[in-house]
């Protein structure tokens, strides 16, 4: 079972002779996706730290901060079984003490699509991630590719600010049905999760069109929209095809960084997912 650390002072003490440190930043309610990140860190690092902090600065005024799932006992079990050494569980005052007035803002990749739908979200993400990097001082940090734009933001921040951390992206872990694992899946019933698979099916349709030789972005997008239109419960936020700089272009190129991203509400729950248009090794 990993040791729970709540203060920054104790955290620094525990990491004095920690060797190569791997950090897995999370908001808790850990699942197999998080466990995969922890196992990746365990394979490469001497000490693995999992942070569990529901960051209020990345939630909008009408989002689910108050009801976001929390279960520290579950987090300890999942983290321990995956091989974590420390679980850093600070409170809000530790991360944002009274008078706190600094925000990290990353330009470019923090805009559309997600940054437009959730203004200020990536400022909150970049701020808390940089604070965690400063507190833990990891050699490597592990992030899931399900939050593709978040990963792009963190990579840009690390590059722009010369942060000495290797950012490792780990492929999305999915349920057997194809639904991307997410803590917010806990809001859905089994039947609703079954219907939410339509999001990954839509992404797959776009990917299939690209693999068949389609390069026109509008036609690629339409392939996904045709699938999403089959369920009236889909309240689409966006379905977009972007390059590595999160830009949508008229035509796509066969590049491993080209992705199709989707965000939609189903049954009152906002879900996101993405796929590469060309999985590594597949020709256009």
Span 85-105, pLDDT tens digits:
999 999 999 999 999 999 999
Q: Mind telling me the catalytic residues? A: 34
Cβ neighbours of residue 222 under 8 Å, at least 6 residues apart? Answer: none
Span 209-266, pLDDT tens digits:
999 999 999 999 999 999 999 999 999 999 999 999 999 999 998 898 999 999 999 9
Span 122-176, pLDDT tens digits:
999 999 999 999 999 999 999 999 999 999 999 999 999 999 999 999 999 999 9
pLDDT at residue 121 above 60? yes
Q: Are 32 and 109 contacting, i.e. CB atoms less than 8 angstroms apart? A: no
pLDDT band at residue 5, thresholds of 50, 70 and 90?
very high
Which value, in Å, is the radius of gyration of the alpha carbons in the chain?
Answer: 19
d(CA 101, CA 103): 7
Residue 62: predicted pLDDT: 87
- For residue 108 the two structure tokens come to 């470019």
- For residue 82 the two structure tokens come to 């995956």
Residue 218: predicted pLDDT: 98
Work out the percent of the chain whose per-residue pLDDT is above 90: 95
Residue burial 81-114, b: 16+ Cβ < 10 Å; e: rest = ebbbbbbbbbeeebbbeeeeeeebebeebbeebb
Residue 203: predicted pLDDT: 98
Domains of the chain from N-terminus onward: 3-170 (3.40.50.620), 183-276 (3.30.1300.10)
- For residue 18 the two structure tokens come to 């920690």
Please state, in angstroms and as integers, the Cα–Cα distance from residue 179 to each residue in 76, 154, 173, 278, following that order.
25, 24, 9, 19
pLDDT band at residue 279, thresholds of 50, 70 and 90?
confident
- Considering the chain, what is the average pLDDT of its residues? 96
Q: Could you give phi then psi for residue 20, rounded to 5 degrees?
A: -75, 120
Q: Is 141 exposed, middle or buried (0-12, 13-18, 19+ CB in 10 A)?
A: buried
pLDDT at residue 284 above 60? no
- Strands 21-26 and 47-52 come out as parallel
d(CA 182, CA 272): 9
Residue 214: predicted pLDDT: 97
- Outline where the chain has alpha helix (H): 8-14, 32-44, 72-82, 92-95, 114-117, 121-136, 148-160, 190-196, 198-211, 217-228
pLDDT at residue 283 above 50? no
CA 237 from centre of chain: 17
d(CA 281, CA 231): 33
- For residue 6 the two structure tokens come to 């709540």
DSSP string covering 103-156: -----STTSTTHHHHSTTHHHHHHHHHHHHHHHH--SEEEEETTSHHHHHHHHH
Q: Are 135 and 53 contacting, i.e. CB atoms less than 8 angstroms apart? A: no
């Amino acid at each position: 079972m990993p040791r729970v650390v709540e203060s920054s002072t104790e955290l620094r003490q525990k990491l004095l002779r920690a060797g190569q440190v791997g950090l897995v930043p999370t908001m808790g309610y850990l699942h197999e996706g998080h466990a995969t990140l922890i196992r990746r860190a365990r394979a490469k690092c001497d000490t693995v730290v999992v942070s569990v902090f529901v960051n209020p600065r990345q939630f909008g005024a009408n989002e689910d901060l108050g009801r976001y799932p929390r279960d520290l006992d579950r987090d300890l079990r999942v983290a321990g079984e995956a091989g974590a050494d420390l679980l850093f569980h600070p409170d809000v005052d530790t991360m944002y003490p009274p008078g706190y007035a600094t925000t990290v803002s990353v330009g470019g990749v923090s805009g559309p699509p997600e940054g437009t739908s959730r203004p200020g979200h990536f400022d909150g993400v970049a701020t808390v991630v940089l604070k965690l990097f400063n507190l833990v001082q990891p050699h490597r940090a592990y992030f899931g590719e399900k939050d593709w734009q978040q990963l792009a933001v963190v990579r840009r921040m690390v590059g722009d600010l010369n942060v000495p951390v290797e950012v490792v992206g780990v492929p999305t872990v999915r349920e057997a049905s194809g639904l991307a694992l997410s803590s917010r899946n806990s809001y859905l019933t089994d039947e609703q999760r079954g219907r939410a698979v339509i999001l990954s099916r839509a992404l797959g349709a776009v990917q299939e069109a690209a693999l068949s030789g389609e390069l026109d972005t509008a036609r690629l997008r339409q392939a996904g929209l045709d699938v999403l239109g089959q369920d009236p419960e889909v309240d689409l936020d966006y379905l977009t095809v972007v390059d590595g700089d999160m830009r949508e272009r008229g035509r796509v190129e066969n590049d491993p960084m080209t992705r199709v991203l989707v965000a939609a509400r189903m049954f009152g729950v906002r879900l996101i997912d993405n796929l590469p248009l060309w999985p590594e090794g597949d020709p256009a």
